[in-house]
Amino acid sequence: MSKTVLSVDDSASIREMIAFALEPRGYCVVQAEDGNDGLRKMRENKIDMVITDLNMPNMNGIEMTRAIRTDNQFDGVPVILLTTEAQKEKMMEGKAAGAVGWIVKPFDEQKICSIVAKMIGS
């Protein structure tokens, strides 16, 4: 059974790039346009991992991570923040919210794939 990754980003092109990288390797990718949409899709699908943008309208990645961590049905689901920001305080805020990693844009396809494989296997 394939693993499912939730890609949350207000940029459709970023979501597509993640899907383009992961789907040929056997992962199913569910896409969401902001944190609210992401939480809804997590409730509708069995999600094994979340890759979310930090800066989004309606609900940002840190707010979404906090919401995931307060819901027991999502225990054990790793969350990776994907952002253009490499600021130390934002990284610490993300970690405090419950994110397990951080990828700075622009990202390398191989890096995304290796992080996903390391976190949830193939």
The whole-number pLDDT of residue 105 equals: 82
Question: SS3 of 5, please?
Answer: strand
Q: ω before 24 within 30° of 0 (cis)?
A: no
Rounded Cα distance, 8 and 66, in Å: 15
Q: According to the CATH classification, is domain 4-120 in 3.90.1150.10?
A: no
Q: Which pTM value belongs to this model?
A: 0.94
| Terminal alpha carbon distance of the chain | 10
pLDDT, tens digit, 9 for 90 and up, residues 4-32: 999 999 999 999 999 999 999 999 999 99
